[in-house]
Amino acid sequence: MTWQPELDELRARETMARRMGGEDKIKRQHDGGRLTVRERIDGVLDSGSFHEIGAIAGKASYDSNSQLIDLQSANCVIGRGLVGGRPVVVCGDDFTVRGGSADATIKEKTWMAEQMALEFRLPIIRIIEGSGGGGSVKTIETTGRANLPGRVGGSYGYHLVARNLGTVPVVALGLGSVAGLGAARLAASHYSVMTKSTSAMFVAGPPVVERIGQKLTKQELGGWEIQCRAGAVDHAVDTEEEAFACARRFLSYLPSSIYATPPVEPCNEDPNRRDESLIKVIPKDRRRVYKMRPIIETLVDRGSFFEMGQMFGRPIITGFARIDGRAVAIMAGDPYHYAGAWTADACAKVIRFIDLAQTFHLPVVHMVDCPGFLIGLEAEKTATIRAGVRAMAAITQTTVPWCTILIRNVFGVAGAIHQPMGRLSLRYAWPSGYWGSLPLEGGIEAAYRQDIADAPDPAKKLAEIEDRLNKLRSPFRTAETFWVEEIIDPRDSRRLLCEFTRLAEPLLTPGPAAFTMRP
């Protein structure tokens, strides 16, 4: 006697589960331009590496002799696999089964995936479609009662989500309509991606929102442009395959958990590479803008810059890169948006990004062009100064190594926080550096009002004063007092950044940080 009959039943149940919602539902998924959950998992993981857990969980039907007739799989697929040869946890919603809506099984499997990621210290990739285990009006009728939010399972589950944000990298892919708890799971991540034509995210969908008098389509309510500009989602792509590539690339810069340091990759590039374009990339006319991203691309290992949150908080550019094969967090001013002045949104972006770098032990490279906080009525209405001091606190609380390059403007309170205060960081200035308590523009008229008014030619007097003060603003004058340590040839920047990453590497300490990432 053997256990072969039981093994045969196990295989039969597994076969039934892999049918998901059936051929019709799978066809509907494909017709809508979306892959199934199992195709998605295969797409994001290394080929053949998926090990499924709870494959036969679901709802079974039996005949009068208790013999299995059919098995409807749970609408959630979880397991482990590899990304770039490193183990990860993956959790995917199956929209072909009850539209991804809530039942006990999906919640149990979802929370088990979160717990596995936490306790085995593995990155987690969430593939989200539908409510992602959230509520459904029909649940009241099928269970005969209404759930008290957070009372059964929910509070425990979110506790795991919150702990994971401070422990392991979390990637969330929104690959369809995502609402309620699904939207919360998408936003509660370190990096999130939507597909442009097939996904949308909202707290509540159009039928619910229409009840409050707002008749909107899915895209009008929660399409990618809405969510990326609001900062709720980091990135949007055209295809699901691109979303998988983004997830894999994001994870390549980070350790598997806070208990390790970022992986180092071989680098065949010359650390002393000099790019002649850097000597003229910054216009001498300070009213002219320039493009910061090509400068970043020139200084880091070729093709390694990975930008995040491009459509939100646009005066600041954030992303990962490699310098001499070592992962770094890049932050840079973008003069194309408010001349690089920090808005409330930009400050929120800085806080989230710096928290991410601190949590996962990435050294920070800050390329500064910041004329200060944005001024004016809108800045006051959005409490820019409060957001700004929170950004100052986040930067000052970091303990990871920090290197700053002063590219052009460094003014005011926002300029003052170009590096953590109270500890040593490396700092270099280009000859194009221009700084002070506040820009001359506007300040001269206030400080020299009487002199200008008494002059025979007020415009000429203003120009004379401005020219005199600008000469005093030379970065070489500042260097005389050692207020700026080094003024460098811009073409030497890569060499110095490579040296910085080598100096920083032994200082990276695995383990929990004093504070951790929040969404």
- Please give the Cα distance from 56 to 232 (Å, whole number): 35
| pLDDT attached to residue 156 | 58
Q: Work out the number of other CB atoms within 10 angstroms of the CB of residue 128.
A: 30
Domains, the chain, in order of start with CATH, read 4-250 (3.90.226.10), 276-437+474-507 (3.90.226.10)
Residue 142's pLDDT is: 63
More confident residue, 205 or 262: 262
pLDDT in tens, 291-330: 999 999 999 999 999 999 999 999 999 999 999 999 999 9
Whether the pLDDT of residue 277 is over 80: the answer is yes
- Amino acid of residue 359: T
- Tell me if 141 sits within 8 A of 103, measured CB to CB: no
Q: For 100-136, how does the pLDDT look when each residue is reduced to its tens digit (9 = 90+)? A: 555 556 778 889 999 999 999 999 999 999 865 555 5
Q: Angle, nearest 10°, between helix axes 240-252 and 37-44?
A: 40
What sign results for the dihedral spanned by CA atoms 298, 300, 304, 307? negative
Task: Give the angle subtended at the CA of 16 by the CAs of 12 and 22, to the nearest 5°.
Answer: 160
Query: Across the chain, what does the average pLDDT equal?
Result: 90
**408-430: burial string, b at 16+ Cβ within 10 Å, e else:** bbbbbebbebbbbeeeebbbbbb
Please report the sign of the dihedral spanned by the C-alpha atoms of residue 27, residue 33, residue 38, residue 39: positive
State how far the alpha carbon of 52 is from the alpha carbons of 49, 56, 80, 102, 383, in Å. 10, 10, 7, 21, 48
**Token pair of 181 as six digits:** 């708890």
Query: Residue 85: its pLDDT value, please?
Result: 97
What tokens does 282 get? 């910054």
Instruction: Give the C-alpha separation, 367 to 344, whole Å.
Output: 19
Higher pLDDT, 143 or 509: 509
How many CB atoms sit inside 10 A of residue 214's CB?
A: 11
Q: What is the pTM of this model?
A: 0.91
Residue closest to 465 by CA, chosen among 450, 448, 482, 442: 448
432 has pLDDT over 80: yes
Whether 65 shows a pLDDT value over 80: the answer reads yes
Residue identified by tokens 């983004």 is 246
Task: Give the 3-state secondary structure percentages of the chain, helix then strand then coil, rounded to 5.
Answer: 40, 20, 40
**DSSP states of 337-362:** TGGG-B-HHHHHHHHHHHHHHHHTT-
CA–CA distance, 76 with 56 (Å, rounded to integer): 11
What local confidence, expressed as pLDDT, does residue 210 receive? 87
- Helix or strand holding residue 92 (H, E): strand 86-93
Average pLDDT for residues 131-147, to the nearest whole number? 62
In this structure, how many other beta carbons lie within 10 angstroms of the beta carbon of residue 72? 17
What is the spatial distance between Cα 287 and Cα 434, in angstroms, rounded to a whole number? Answer: 12
pLDDT band, very low/low/confident/very high, at 86 (cuts 50, 70, 90): very high
Average pLDDT over residues 66-91: 93
Torsion of CA 299, 304, 309, 315, to 10 degrees: 10
Give the chain's length.
519
pLDDT above 70 (res 288): yes
Average pLDDT over residues 207-217: 90
Structure confidence at residue 469 (pLDDT): 74
3-state secondary structure of 484: coil
